[in-house]
Every structure is written in structure tokens, then in C-alpha cells.
Amino acid sequence: MSDAYLALEDGRVVEARGRVPGRTRGELVFTTAYTGYEESLTDPSYEEQVLTFSYPLIGNYGVRAERFESDRVHPRAAVAREFTEDVVEWLADEGVPAVDHVDTRDLVTSIREEGAMKVGIAVGEDATPEAAKEELAKCKGMSEHVDIGAQVTTTELTTYEGDGDQTVTLIDCGAKQSIIDSLVERGATVHVLPYDATADDVSALDSDILFVSNGPGDPENFTATRELVEEFAGEVPIAGICLGQQIVASALGGTTGKMAFGHRGVNQPVRDLQTGKVIMTTQNHGYTVEDPGEHLDVTQVNVNDDTAEGLASEELSVITRQYHPEAHPGPHDSLGFFDDVLSMGTPEGNGRKRRVVASD
């Protein structure tokens, strides 16, 4: 007798073994990463999603807090072929439902063929298919989570001191700790502001660079952050990662859209259009830049589907990446991005500039 059920948007109900009890719902997605499960489970970009691991054994090197990307687990539930006891205990402490003994190959194939889908989950001694279906009925699409930024952002200004002269104002839309660490390791002092910070908040810090972080959900719902990019474009160098790239593009006249099943894993190949070099990257996103607009150039593309992986404007001092250059535990092919970002804030990199553009 099963003690866990997953009710899928395509009408199927999947039986599983319950590892952590509870009832929940979310967008069912998968990651192909075979390491980095601690980083994935604490990545704020997975907020309001149910994370399926395609690799069959999750937890084979334990759980260590120093690998976490935030202070909590963000997926609403976790699914695997098999979880170790270390991971189960961790998820239980976090109150996050977990199931295993699932044919994850079948789930991943369904998501690839039909797209990311809503799922309802019921786990525990009293779990029933009907309970899972009740959760499914209450599930929202990702774009319907209009205030998702409030669930993952800092609530107040937080400063991380570097030992150099440069300063970065990072807008926290759900930032991974590794992004902050990568900047501080290069000497920058990083001022972290909430996703709904005002232009006055940013101006008061008078930083060399404005940085828009990664985060969950639809970029079109991050109105306040988009307005910051519109306000400071052409005056302060701007950088962005993942959701940050999408917000920057939207603010400068580009368009974004939802992908069928997104890019989530540690083996996504990206080609630089200037050098022709291909690097391997870590990615976690379900939305993408469809058209960068007239102010930004596409500098890198995904080898698999040709989606935009890098954008830039020399005139506006803008540089963004769709993937995660800070990638932990790896690969580390793209760590030089942070050096490129900080170079924009130096006199040689043009530093502050007069206003050049305003978005329509």
C-alpha cells in the first residue's frame, strides 16, 4: 500500500514511498545535476516548485550547511528515485514533504514532452489519491505568483564587506549566497537591498555597480526591480544573473517568455559568439529572453536550443548571464564573469556614465 501520491496536471496519479509527510503543491520541474543537491534544495529560484532529481541516488555524500545557498529549503517538495537518510532527516527538519521510489525517468520524460506541469502531493499514513488531487486543484501557475519576490528577498539592507575599494548594490530577487561570495572574494563590498527597493535607496548607497540577482518566477512580476534598471541604465554599470538577465532585458525594451521545461542542471553547453568557445554551465530557470530589444546584443547562446545566455551593451555598460557563473559545486568555466562585472566599475571600464537610454 502506497503512502504517497502525486497528482499530475496531465491526469495521472503516481504512487510513491513517503519519506517526509505533508500535503503540498507546485510546478513540477527536474534537474539533471548529479551533484550539488544541497545547493539545489537551498536555491531560492526553486520557490513554489516541486523538484525532481533525475540522478537516481540523492544524498550519497551527506548534508553540510556550508554548502547551502540560503537559510532554508525552497522547493515545496522533493522527488527522487532514492533519498538517503541524511537528506530525509534534513528535509524533515525543514518540514518539506519528500517522496522516493518513483520512476523519475518517466517523470522527466513526461516533463520534457509535455512541459513543466502542476502537481499536487499527499504524503503520510492518511494520504490518498483524492488528497493529492485536492492539492493539484489549488495549484497556481508560476506566473500567477505575482508577489513571489517577497517570499525570497531580504527584508532590510545587509552589507558584506570586501577588502577592496569597489562597491556593488545587489538587488535581492532571491539571490544565491555564492553570487555575493564571488563578488566579496574579489574585494568588492556588496550592499544587498530588497527586490522592491526604490531609486532613492540605490542612490543613497552610491555604489559603482548595480547588480540584479537570480530568483524565482516570471520576470514581468518584478516591477520595482525593472524600474530600477530603467532609472539607472546609462548612469551606473548594470549586471544580472538568471532572472536578473530577464529583468534587465525587459527594462531595456526586450521581451521574455516561459520555456516548456526550462534549463536545470550542471551540464548546459553555452557558446560565446565572439570567441566561438563552448563552456559548460549550471542553470536553473524556466523563463528566457525571447528578444533582447534594440539596446542589448546577444553575446552567448545555448548550444542545445539557441536561447540567449549572455547579453551586453558596451554603450550602457551592461553585462548579463542567463546561467550561473558562480556555480557550486561547479563547473567553474565561467567564474571570469565576476571579474568582467567589476571591471565595468573602474575608470578604465568607463565607470559612471551620463544617461543614454530610457525604456519606453
Residues annotated as catalytic (active site), given as ranges: 242, 324, 326
Cα–Cα distance between 168 and 155 in angstroms, integer?
18
Closest C-alpha among 27, 25, 5, 26 to residue 14: 5
- The answer to whether residues 32 and 145 touch, using CB atoms and an 8 Å cutoff, is no
Is 287 annotated for ligand binding? yes
Is 243 annotated for ligand binding? yes
Is 217 annotated for ligand binding? yes
Cα–Cα distance between 255 and 226 in angstroms, integer?
12
Q: 243-251 and 223-232 helices cross at what angle (nearest 10)?
A: 60
Q: What are phi and psi of 106, to 5 degrees?
A: -70, -40
Is 49 annotated for ligand binding? no
Is 215 annotated for ligand binding? yes
* Residue 31, C-alpha cell as written in the block: 534537474
Closest C-alpha among 277, 135, 285 to residue 213: 285
Is 274 annotated for ligand binding? no
Q: What are phi and psi of 136, to 5 degrees?
A: -60, -40
- The answer to whether residues 124 and 12 touch, using CB atoms and an 8 Å cutoff, is no
- The answer to whether residues 181 and 326 touch, using CB atoms and an 8 Å cutoff, is yes
Is 316 annotated for ligand binding? no
β partners of residue 57: 82
Is 342 annotated for ligand binding? no
- Residue numbers in the known binding site for L-glutamine are 45, 215, 217, 243, 246, 284, 286-287
